[in-house]
């Protein structure tokens, strides 16, 4: 049996019990706040969640995962391509530990080598490590595969091992 080339979940590997929490989505109309796609690196401000905003900045390892369910009677959850885009939607996030693997988002126009370090790209996406960042606080993890999205105009999925 062949493994799926495109996983359908954000949490690819988790040692032990995963640590999940839900936060309300910051209002979309707030300055710089956009919808959150599962796989985005996120941060909390005043108890609300938004895409991580500081390029190369320190980031709590915190990723939005699939889980949006807009139908109260449905037993299925949204998939990894269903955005959280309603003000105050309950955004389900995961706090991975070192060694865990997340199916994150590499920003448009970015590329990363296999085993390359990744950091925040300031919009919830990741980018290859930039020499101006200081190790290790600003590093999120290492790509477990090479992804070339240098010509891309939208984000691309990348598997990242948390460090």
CATH class of 10-163: mainly beta
Beta carbons within 8 Å of 12's beta carbon, 6+ residues apart? 101, 102, 103, 159
21-53 pLDDT tens trace: 999 998 887 666 788 999 999 999 999 999 998
pTM, two decimal places: 0.88
Report pLDDT for 154: 95
- Exposed/middle/buried for residue 2 (C-beta within 10 Å: 0-12, 13-18, 19+): exposed
Q: Rounded CA gap, 13 and 160, in Å?
A: 10
Peptide bond into 35 cis (omega under 30): no
Can you tell me whether residue 30 is helix, strand or coil? coil
Report pLDDT for 42: 96
123-154 pLDDT tens trace: 999 999 977 655 556 789 999 999 999 999 99
* pLDDT tier, 1 (very low <50, low <70, confident <90, very high otherwise): very low
Is the pLDDT assigned to residue 71 strictly greater than 80? no
């Amino acid at each position: 049996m062949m493994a799926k080339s495109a996983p359908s979940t954000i949490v690819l590997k988790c040692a032990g019990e995963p640590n999940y929490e839900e936060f309300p989505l910051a209002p979309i109309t707030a300055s710089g706040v956009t919808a959150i796609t599962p796989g985005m690196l996120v941060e909390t401000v005043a108890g609300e969640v938004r895409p991580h905003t500081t390029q190369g900045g320190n980031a709590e390892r915190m990723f939005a995962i699939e889980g949006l369910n807009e139908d109260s009677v449905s037993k299925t959850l949204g998939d990894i391509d269903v955005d959280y885009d309603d003000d105050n939607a309950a955004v389900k996030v995961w706090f991975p530990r070192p060694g865990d693997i997340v199916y994150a988002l590499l920003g448009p126009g970015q590329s990363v080598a296999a085993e390359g370090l990744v950091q925040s790209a300031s919009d919830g996406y990741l980018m290859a490590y930039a020499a101006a960042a200081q190790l290790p606080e600003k590093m999120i993890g290492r790509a477990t595969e090479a992804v070339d999205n240098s010509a891309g105009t939208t984000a691309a999925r990348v598997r990242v091992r948390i460090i």
